[in-house]
Amino acid sequence: DADVTQTPRNRITKTGKRIMLECSQTKGHDRMYWYRQDPGLGLRLIYYSFDVKDINKGEISDGYSVSRQAQAKFSLSLESAIPNQTALYFCATMGHPYNEQFFGPGTRLTVL
Amino acid sequence: AQRVTQPEKLLSVFKGAPVELKCNYSYSGSPELFWYVQYSRQRLQLLLRHISRESIKGFTADLNKGETSFHLKKPFAQEEDSAMYYCALKGTGRRALTFGSGTRLQVQP
């Protein structure tokens, strides 16, 4: 089955460390997204990409960067992690033309 | 700007009772509206979209442009409906969905 996968699934790190979260998809979708989920705040968009040359900031991009290495891969980096970046991070793709988003299983990141 | 509001953080009902999860939106054009569901320890998945006008797992949602609402309804709740529900909006020409803050539905036996 075509899928969206994320690695790692869980990560504990310390303040100031650089962290990379990876996302891969076999759905053949061009559009990919990174969200963070916090209790009471829902899902907030960090970055999104329509192809390897089209990268866009979302509503909460400060402190994050992304890389679209290929159509199937979209990585999220925290250059210098801080405790308020502790959250559940989701990668998603979007199909066309129905605009349905397909989500990965999530990465639980804890910054101490 | 587009915005999605889910006023209830938690909705608790008994099995067999009707359920209505509220969603209001703010958008000046013609939006696409969606409901996503996240069951315990599972990833988010699409429940339904307004353009399909379908019923999924007994849930329906009607887009009311006058009231800018897209409430999710089910006449008889089941315990397996317990989950986190998110309303989402996609504006014309926009390239990403805007999600509400979510409502946790708890169906008690």
How close does chain B come to A64, measured CA to CA in Å? Answer: 18
pLDDT at A91: 97
Backbone angles phi, psi at B79, to 5 degrees: -60, -35
Q: Flag if B43 and A41 touch (Cβ within 8 Å).
A: no
Is residue B17 pLDDT above 70, yes or no? yes
Is residue A7 pLDDT above 70, yes or no? yes
* Radius of gyration of chain B measured on its C-alpha atoms: 13
Q: Is A23 exposed, middle or buried (0-12, 13-18, 19+ CB in 10 A)?
A: buried
Length of chain B: 109
When pLDDT is averaged across residues A42-68 and rounded to a whole number, the result is 93
Q: Considering only CB atoms, which chain B residues are within 8 Å of A40? A: 9, 101
Q: Flag if B9 and A50 touch (Cβ within 8 Å).
A: no
| Contact A10/B at CB under 8 A | no
Is residue A1 pLDDT above 80, yes or no? no
Nearest to A29 by CA among A2, A57, A5, A1: A2
Q: Is A2 exposed, middle or buried (0-12, 13-18, 19+ CB in 10 A)?
A: exposed
Cα-based angle B71, B76, B81 (whole degrees, multiple of 5): 75
Share of chain A above pLDDT 90, in %: 82
Q: Flag if B45 and A103 touch (Cβ within 8 Å).
A: yes
pLDDT at A55: 95
pLDDT band at residue B94 using 50, 70 and 90 as cut-offs: low
> Which residue in chain A has the smallest CA separation from B88?
A43
Amino acid at position B80, single letter = E
Average pLDDT value over all residues in chain A: 93
Q: Lowest-pLDDT range, A71-85, B21-35, B83-97?
A: B83-97
**CB under 8 Å to A42, separation ≥6 — which residues?**
B6, B86, B99, B100, B101, B102
Is residue A69 pLDDT above 80, yes or no? yes
Interstrand relation of A10-13 and A64-70 (parallel, antiparallel or unpaired): unpaired
Q: Flag if B46 and A101 touch (Cβ within 8 Å).
A: yes
Nearest to B44 by CA among A108, A103, A22, A1: A103
Nearest to A35 by CA among A112, A103, A110, A111: A103
pLDDT at B55: 82
**Measured between CB atoms, which of B9, B86, B95 is closest to A48?**
B95
